[in-house]
A and B are shown apart, each in its own frame.
Chain A
Amino acid sequence: MDEIAILGVGMHPWGKWGRNFVEYGEKAASDALADAEVGWDEIQFVSGANSVRCGYPGYVSASTFANALGFTGCQLASSYAACASGATALSIARAQILSGVCDVALVVGAESTPKGFFAPNAGERHEDPDWLRFHLVGATNPTYFALYARRRMALYGDTSEDFAAVKVKNSRHGVFNPNARYTKEYDVDDIANSPMVADPLRLLEICATSDGGAALVVSSLEWAASRGVDNPVRVSGISTVSPTYPNSVIELPYLASDSWAAVGDETMTFKDNIAARAYEEASVSPEDLDFAEVYDLSSAYELDWYEHIGLCERGDAAKLLRAGDTALGGRIPVNPSGGLGAFGEAVPAQAIAQVCEMVWQLRGEAGHRQVEGAKVGLSINHGMFGHGSSVICTR
């Protein structure tokens, strides 16, 4: 797959600011433009990652952000793919660039989130699985995270201490990130003393909902070279795949998994397929990675990702963690940014924020959280209902 260049990145710090999401997006976009040394009037295409929690302006995010920066007549696309929205927006910008429709584009996502559990849309909708799971089962997002965590304990012998250790690790990374919401270093006792939310997961192990914004300026390699940027961070692969039937894991927001009765194979899972496509596009394998940014919706969830992205065999993730391999300074640091544990989740901005971290790491600009000599990074997450999201960046 042909590559594109990332010329600039910008973020509005994550927090619970309670302000208009447009402010966060505008700040992130302005920072990305300044970082890229590209003028807003040079941007030919804006790819917006939508929010469904900020009213109509959130559904037409590209137009909303373009308006905030000033309408210049550039082309727009707004897209929603739940937590995968940012990667989807980047994939659309890449397609526009690689097809020659534009040379340089802005990708931006931002959200202002309510406190507490994410809730489904209003109304009574008996055929919407997101409505059914709340009404009939009381299954919140942490319910699903906890089911996966408990299953790890039963199948692989993972412990609550292992899960807490993930949060401890990520909180240590987050201390060094000026854009993180939580910059306190937690220890295992802090986690053990936080309230149980969904057994075996405690409050400090479950991703919060946050406000935040993130943006990228991307271009063709030729356009980058024309600006004197000969060695940019490159987007080498993007995965936006759907699940492949049958996915044997029960996923948000469904009441049931796929049935593997007709196929007879219960080993396939969505999250394996997401990474596989990104590796294939980038011609990269797990051994090539210097670090990864994974979606730690819960502490235990991060361990699932180690296996899904091929850092180890299924069931061995806790061994990597216990050996310190995935901490900064280890063999393959995971979530050097601090991850969702340090950020909380600002849905449409989160996948873009993962790419921002990759760019800082690959440029050697990550300060105290720098992964030494990083050349290849991978980010991964997924949007509920079945939107894959993974980006591989190289330099």
Chain B
Amino acid sequence: MAAVEGLFTLDSDEPRLIGGRARSRGSYFFPKALAGSDPACLGDEIEEVLLSRTGQLWSYTTGEYAPPAPYVIPGDEFEPYVVAAVRLAEENLVVLGQVVEGVSVGDLSVGMEMELVIDVLYSDEEHDYLVWKWSPTPMSENGDD
């Protein structure tokens, strides 16, 4: 199940982030519930849209120490993870997410193409709690942003 409902689809082949789009203005927001920072959208209808699955890597880093709650450490021991900020191709907004396991900062470079996948954030006896993560696309090549 989704770690938080309503932010992304659970389609295993083509997962997507669920954003908002101002119908007449055309601005995008993620999450949809945070729509509103564009003053030209005042009174505009915010429709639910699925955001692009791919984008360019805007920047990236690691988390070498365990964050405080509400972060849940998956497994018995904390393992460092990689975080990416990806500029969505069509919507021109930059979205954060963890990077899938097995990818290190040495594998990444600003400008390379990334795609959205669904992965396990943490688990308990009953459920896997799922989240979106970023992964280099199979064809991705390093490039300049």
Contact = CB atoms under 8 A, between A and B. Distances in A.
Given A134-B68, A135-B4, A147 B60 contact: yes
Nearest to B63: A138
Contacts, number: 158
DSSP class of A's interface residues: helix, strand, loop or mixed?
loop
A134 B71 contact: yes
B97 to A, nearest CB: 6
B63 A151 contact: no
Contacts of B70: 120, 124, 131, 134-135
B4 A136 contact: yes
Contact of B28 (A124, A199, A249, A261): A261
Nearest to B24: A262
B138 to A, nearest CB: 22
Interface stretch (A21-29, A250-258, A313-321, A374-382): A250-258
Interface in B1-18: 3-7
Interface in A122-169: 124, 126-127, 129, 131-140, 143, 146-151, 154-155
B59 A198 contact: no
A256 B17 CA distance: 11
A246 B40 CA distance: 11
Contacts of A17: none
B114 interface: no
Counting chain A CB atoms within 10 Å of each CB, the highest count among B69, B81, B83 belongs to B83
Contact of B94 (A132, A136, A250): A250
A136 B72 CA distance: 9
Interface string B19-62: 00010011111110110011110000000000000000011111
B110 interface: yes
A229 interface: no
Contact of B59 (A138, A151, A196): A151
Contacts of B92: 259-261, 266
Contacts of B26: 261-262
A255 B98 contact: no
Given A133-B96, A255-B96, A262-B26, A138 B71 contact: yes
A123 B94 CA distance: 27
Contacts of B83: 137-139, 143, 147
Given A136-B121, A262-B26, A199 B67 contact: no
B27 A259 contact: yes
Interface of A: 116-117, 119-120, 124, 126-127, 129, 131-140, 143, 146-151, 154-155, 195-201, 243, 245-250, 254-263, 266
Shortest beta-carbon contacts, A-B, top 4: A154-B110, A146-B61, A119-B68, A259-B93
13 contacts: A119-B68, A154-B144, A155-B110, A198-B64, A199-B61, A201-B61, A245-B38, A246-B27, A246-B37, A259-B28, A259-B29, A262-B22, A263-B27
Interface of B: 3-7, 22, 25-31, 33-34, 37-40, 58-65, 67-72, 81, 83, 85, 90-98, 105, 109-111, 121, 131, 144-145
